[in-house]
Structure 1
């Protein structure tokens, strides 16, 4: 019997398997940031341990950093302390840090791929659930807890139980106005926010192969939002072209050798998955969420489910969610007034996302009732946006291009959505309070978010393109 992509990478990294228990898995790259690393470093200090392989650890500041005036001291005390502590810990333990002011600084899951650090066949971890982003390159990549961060720093290994395997195949041509964010929101709406719990998911099919690398990253990024341990896509010529000549990509003869190895990373024709799901791309329309988990999503022309459409066991949580969101069963989501539009996060803050939005809004003006924040995922994305004149397009449209960081994806920094306000967000989570206490989040693609910014309400972008 053939092997899956996951099996091939897993088997190459297992150091030891404990009978009836987990495996000791070797980790190729460990990304860290200011929020989940301080306790791990403190644990090493208390035990008198060094970082086992500091050259395989990459650090950046992203979650708590301000996205305006980054040259000034951070105002929020906890954020300032965490960022300063990351500097001290990296200096003490000999770890490369891309901190504020560094040309490589940015969101951890944006800088890894854009620098060529993320490469096919790797195992990658980070104290952040959206580490699954890196799976777009054919890696096993997943988030870990703080105690596990300490374990990897100390040993470059991790105790981990092999998950079950699922393949989601998306075939066909995408409709006008439908992009990768719509694909993953559609999948999650179909199987629910817990539908892939316990699985590693491989995405396949013609619709996936036709996506760019940045679009593939969006899909893998949100794998965790349906409960998956990780998401991955087999590397191909699109992936190799993206990696080639990146700062930390293999060079010279090493490049050819690396690509030859990467070409073996695919699921064999006779590989068996524990679960298979098939989706027709033609069935997907621009998506938007209405509730307080990413599985509560509908097509833009759809309506909030009526009570009769909800399973009896799920009605209490459904009604609680709608109460929080200020929506009613059966209500049409299209035409709903919005207050904020946030374009950014590790899901949709790459240069392709910004280009997509700029192309759509060029020559247009934002609605007067909407505040629009565009937050690039890294200093490199910011630099590119300025060089290409994207910042000028945004300025003319009334959008604010801020500086790199996680920003309004989560309420841990200064960029919070006020209580009761509606925000169409290109981020990955719409939990209660995720973007600030009592903020109301509607997840959507960069195109759908841009359409709302122009019209001031939830809009079917297909009517404007």
Structure 2
């Protein structure tokens, strides 16, 4: 019987199928951080239990950490308490922790892949919605709630209902200036922020296969922003080339054996999906969001929809969103003055993202009235950026290269965008207050962010390359 990539992995991990109910699913790897784990640890301890398989958990501090002067005590009391509690919990339960000061510290969804912890065919969970990032390696990866974090800690299993399956095929050649972030913003704009609710999405097609692993991670990362349970891409030679030799990837003695298994991870030619969507790569342009959910996106060169283009039921929320953003229906975003540019987050903070930005800004200076924060996704990315001289390019451009963390992706640490200010951001969400109370967010690719940093306004990268 023909199977999808998802089916092949799911079926191998079902411990028990409950009649008329969910499956008991075995979890290969569990990532944790300081925000969603404290209550889970507390729940275990109240029941007098220890973590069942601590060797299958990897912990890091990322959401609440400052991105300047990380060697000093954390100023914010809540953040300091949460980070310290993670240290205590990991010590008490013998869990590997990559905390502040550790050479492997970074955003949880950046360090897993770059260390070789994330591998094809795995089931991976974390108390964080953007766990879907790891699906780029041909894994079933999804976010879970705190009670589920406790369940995995206690049993290494999880109760899950099998989702419906969707395949999104992107065929053709991408236009100049169009990168992976534009692909996923375009898809979400086409099907809406709820268009994949209840589905697990497989991305396929020649345009997807042409992407680097960093690009594939960006796409899978934002699957959750269209309501999907997760996203995945079949592993191939690009995947294997990225993984080989990484810290925790299989060594020479196991590599060939693992490769044979991984090469079977693809959807069979006649496998059936509940929904299939076909997209032409040539139709995708550099994208930007204009509203307060990631589905409210248009071409950078395009217009915000007019009131007549919006369904009557959706019109109140549409107008409320534009009012929050200080924008008008039917207007153009291109040329809009911006105040901040944030390049970072688990979506776009890898070395490829930084190289892309550095290549564009080399020899240029930032606009005088724009503040630019570059936040690497991990200590490894930071180290590589310095080794390649990227830090010097940013310094000469007037950008601030900060230390690793989630930073201004979310208003949970010190890196907040002031009220009313416009931020061009490479992060994944533009909800009201996401980057700080009353902050206004435009989601874009690293290239489009670089244009805004240099010109001080929203621009079309195709006019500069």
How many Å separate the matches in 2 of 1:12 and 1:100? 36
Could you give the per-residue CA deviations for residues 10-36 of structure 1, whole angstroms, max 9, x where no partner exists? 000000011111000000000000000
How many Å separate the matches in 2 of 1:424 and 1:21? 44
How many Å separate the matches in 2 of 1:449 and 1:123? 33
Could you give the per-residue CA deviations for residues 293-314 of structure 1, whole angstroms, max 9, x where no partner exists? 0000000111111000000100
Instruction: Give the corresponding residue for 1:238.
Output: 238
Alignment of 1:14-413 (within 5 A): 14-413=14-413
Structure 2 gap segments, 5+ residues each: none
Task: Return the offset for 1:126.
Answer: 0.1
How many Å separate the matches in 1 of 2:253 and 2:164? 37
Task: Return the offset for 1:349.
Answer: 0.1
Runs of 4+ off more than 4 Å: none
Task: Return the offset for 1:369.
Answer: 1.2
Task: Return the offset for 1:252.
Answer: 1.7
How many Å separate the matches in 2 of 1:277 and 1:334? 29
Could you give the per-residue CA deviations for residues 71-111 of structure 1, whole angstroms, max 9, x where no partner exists? 00000000000000000000000000000000000000000
Could you give the per-residue CA deviations for residues 314-367 of structure 1, whole angstroms, max 9, x where no partner exists? 001001100100001011010000000000000000000000000000000000
SS of the residue corresponding to residue 357 of structure 2 reads helix
How many Å separate the matches in 1 of 2:122 and 2:257? 15
SS of the residue corresponding to residue 169 of structure 1 reads strand
Alignment of 1:443-458 (within 5 A): 443-458=443-458
Moved more, 415-424 or 245-254: 245-254
How many Å separate the matches in 2 of 1:434 and 1:7? 35
SS of the residue corresponding to residue 279 of structure 1 reads strand
Could you give the per-residue CA deviations for residues 241-295 of structure 1, whole angstroms, max 9, x where no partner exists? 1010000000122000000000000000010000000000000000000000000
Could you give the per-residue CA deviations for residues 356-407 of structure 1, whole angstroms, max 9, x where no partner exists? 0000000000001100000000000000000000000000000000000000
TM-score (norm 2): 1.00
Aligned residues: 465
SS of the residue corresponding to residue 150 of structure 1 reads helix
SS of the residue corresponding to residue 373 of structure 1 reads strand
How many Å separate the matches in 2 of 1:3 and 1:365? 52
How many Å separate the matches in 2 of 1:30 and 1:460? 40
Structure 1 gap segments, 5+ residues each: none
